[in-house]
Amino acid sequence: MGKAKSHGFSKARLERIDRFLLEKYVGPGRLPCAQFLLARDGEVVHQTLLGQQDPERGVPIAEDTVYRIYSMTKPITSVALMTLVEEGLIALDDPVARHIPEWKDLGVFSAGLEPAFLTTPTSRPMQVVDLLRHTSGLTYGFQSRTNIDAAYRKLKLEDMHGEHDLETMIHKLAKLPLEFSPGEAWNYSVSTDVVGYLVQKVAGKPLDQVFAERIFEPLKMTDTGFFVRDDQKDRFAACYNAAPGGKMKLQDDPKKSPYLKPPALLSGGGGLVSTAADYMRFAAMLVNGGELDGARILAPKTLKLMASNHLPGGQDLTQLSRSLFSESTNAGVGFGLGFAVVFDPAQTLIPCSPGEFYWGGAASTAFWVDPLEKVTAVFMTQLLPSSTYPIRRELRTLAYSALMESNG
């Protein structure tokens, strides 16, 4: 591979990635499949394709395999909201209650169980920025930490393939207290689902239509959406739960999956399916400062704002987080408007760049964007939960260990 195509990467060192994934994860059956795309300066420098998209039926992985991306939906939803911010239709410092009037009297939990919670007033109103950076006081039921988490589970708030829609979710949340006063802590939560609700309310169109018009169609992300279309069914991957002893147990059969039909709840927090190539186009737009192949999604200044640490006092996630949170190790990492942001690479203990931003999904998928090195990466597999293996840190280490010509 000549220098023009390698973009500063060592071909021999990149080949370590495939060996590592095969020997540690795919070969022993710890992961069903592994697809890794690494690009620099807008050109793919390495692709890994290992394993099977449907091991039960012996269907091999393909370049266009369709995956559940879960929380990798969040950056897309956040970008959609920022396109509306750019048009002056909503502002980051707007009180959320301006757009959701029934939330104006939300209180902070002090005691009790659903439906008889005792609350105290918030110290300040929840703002739109609190939703984007997860300082809203909302939570996720699956964390199973508090009485409020239990209420979320009881009301099936996060059930993407249940019976309630976004409007109903917002109505149910109006009756529940916050975990803390907005801005006081960081807690991974349904906040981005609420962002999705704001997007469709402000835009005056359903969330899937807003995504299509403002992001997917301009970026030619033809395989990304809230359900698996008929023409995608043969490419849809099986999803697994991690089982004891490094084993896997089928969690969602692609031939019987609820993803095969449109959901009632358009979840901006975790509802999309996509391909590695599609998500790489989204990442390429981000690393390019908001534009790809002539399609301008956001202005460079807007993207720079999104990729700054917005945690109060410039703190990192280890200082401010209340979550049972396992998407990554968080020293030296803050949170921007829709994704984690590295501001002190030394504290992370892995090779990375200041200003790099990233996120992952529950089925162990991940992406990162490094504006300094002009590097983007997308990793796809289908294993729940994402905390099972440290594969995201390992991939970052392997990829940057192959980068021979660095910009900083």
pTM: 0.97
In a domain, 125, yes or no: yes
In a domain, 136, yes or no: yes
CA distances from 167 to 26, 159, 164, 206 (A): 41, 13, 8, 11
d(CA 166, CA 168): 5
Does 170 lie in the same domain as 211? no
Q: Provide the number of structural domains found in the chain.
A: 2
- Residue 165 · residue 299 · CB < 8 Å: no
Does 212 lie in the same domain as 199? no
> So what's the pLDDT on residue 143?
87
CB atoms within 10 A of CB 293: 12
Q: Which of 141, 168, 203 is the last residue of a domain?
A: 203
**Which CATH number does the domain housing residue 143 bear?**
1.20.58
> So what's the pLDDT on residue 378?
98
In a domain, 406, yes or no: no
d(CA 340, CA 358): 5
In a domain, 383, yes or no: yes
Does 101 lie in the same domain as 60? no
Does 181 lie in the same domain as 135? yes
Q: Which of 139, 173, 203 is the last residue of a domain?
A: 203
Does 71 lie in the same domain as 10? yes
Does 103 lie in the same domain as 43? no
In a domain, 408, yes or no: no
Does 270 lie in the same domain as 160? no
Does 369 lie in the same domain as 239? yes
In a domain, 53, yes or no: yes
Does 348 lie in the same domain as 284? yes
Beta-bridge mates of residue 295? 292
**Which CATH number does the domain housing residue 294 bear?**
3.40.710.10
> So what's the pLDDT on residue 5?
66
Does 56 lie in the same domain as 31? yes
> So what's the pLDDT on residue 322?
86
> So what's the pLDDT on residue 324?
63
Q: 302: Cβ–Cβ under 8 A, 6 or more apart, which residues?
A: 82, 85, 86, 290
Range of the domain at 193: 93-203
Does 238 lie in the same domain as 173? no
Does 143 lie in the same domain as 246? no
Per-residue pLDDT of the chain in tens (408 residues, 90 and over written 9) = 334 468 999 999 999 999 999 999 999 999 999 999 999 999 999 999 999 999 999 999 999 999 999 999 999 999 999 999 999 999 999 999 999 999 999 999 999 998 899 999 999 999 999 999 999 999 999 988 899 999 999 999 999 999 999 999 999 999 999 999 999 999 999 999 999 999 999 999 999 999 999 999 999 999 999 999 999 999 999 999 999 999 999 999 999 999 999 999 999 999 999 999 999 999 999 999 999 999 999 999 999 999 999 999 999 998 899 876 544 468 899 999 999 999 999 999 999 999 999 999 999 999 999 999 999 999 999 999 999 999 999 999 999 999 999 998
In a domain, 407, yes or no: no
Q: Which of 179, 203, 227 is the last residue of a domain?
A: 203
> So what's the pLDDT on residue 3?
42
Closest by CA position to 188, among listed 16, 387, 402: 387
